[in-house]
Amino acid sequence: MRMATLKEIANRAHVSVGTVDRVIHRRGRVSLETEQRVKRIISELDYKPNILARSLSMTKTFRFGILVPFPEQDGHYWELPLKGIEKAQSELDVYKVKVKYFYYDKYSEQSFEMACSKMLQMVRELDGLLIAPVLSQATEKFLTKIPDRLPYIFLDSYIPNSRCFSYIGEDSFQSGVLSAKLMRILVTAHGTVAIIKVQPMDYHIEDRVRGFFSYFNNNTDINLLTYTVNARESMPYYKITKKIVTENSDLIGIYTPNACAYQVADYLAEHFAGKKIFVIGYDLIKENISHLKNGSIDFLISQRSEMQGYESIFKLYKQVVLKEKVESRVLMPLDIVTKENLQFYEN
């Protein structure tokens, strides 16, 4: 029978892991009502403390290296998983779990290599790594330099044929299929749908695009056109959206397989307000939410980015500290967010 965990108890009791720990070890201040609720759930789940983890946490500090893009990139998208990482680390602080961030520019291999170099210089001080491998080829090179003793986990994106012990994120291909089905529901007339790809290449973005195309394989009434934007340029989405609407008089939809749908919507709202162009994008960042509310973005796919960050740290903790086996893939639900149900996601 599988043993209950502190995290499960915390979720059931609607408290933090730290609060559960304080109840178990009778330290710190906890309200009587909360203490009784936690103890009741502990009894129901027949929880037994992990003696190894407790003894280790008293003698050793565990440090996890976090290799992710700068938080402000992609419309501040990366703040979402980082928020989850910080929440998990705070809850595990009682077990002396610490994190060290190594940020990089996701559009610069040189920046990525510099961040990797800094991480490798500290590798003896780290017990596990969390990697967001959005620069696929550069990441593959970096993985060959990681010592065999050091476990690592992937967040947000996945690179096949690596030795990562777990991946936390979406099924990118199926995400693209879902987006295509939503577009098919929206577009009832013949016309062109544009797909905006990004350079440098990002494996999971490419996978979304493949999924999108696969759905439309047998749909002859929709013309799919791919446009590639260089994210290093100035105002790349403004320029590419202008090019798309100029070249396609029968344009009916635009699919942006990343968090930058708001930039497409910005251009359309300013220069093309007379005709409805359906827009589908990703992620509940502030700018996307604003356009979803005013109707210039029709659907956003949420991959629960904050939860990805949170789960990643707990999976590292389970693998590294508790020495327990974790799932090789933890796939997040694909939430379809509209103007009508947005209120249930904003908090």
Q: Please give the Cα distance from 282 to 339 (Å, whole number).
A: 14
pLDDT attached to residue 1: 45
pLDDT tens for 65-113 read 999 999 999 889 999 999 999 999 998 888 889 999 999 999 999 999 9
Instruction: Please state the domain extents for the chain.
Output: 6-49, 58-170+305-332, 172-302
Average pLDDT for consecutive 10-residue bins of the chain (347 residues)? Answer: 72 83 71 82 75 59 96 92 95 90 94 97 96 92 94 93 94 97 92 91 89 87 92 87 95 96 94 90 96 96 95 93 88 96 87
99 forms beta bridges with: 64
pLDDT tens for 254-295 read 999 999 999 999 999 998 877 899 999 999 999 999 999 999
pLDDT attached to residue 16: 83
pLDDT attached to residue 3: 63
287 φ, ψ to 5°? -65, -40
pTM: 0.82
CATH tag, 172-302: 3.40.50.2300
CATH tag, 58-170+305-332: 3.40.50.2300
Q: Please give the Cα distance from 103 to 106 (Å, whole number).
A: 9
Cβ pair 204, 172 in contact under 8 A: yes
Matching fold, domains 58-170+305-332 and 172-302: yes
284 burial (CB, 10 Å; 0-12 / 13-18 / 19+) is: buried
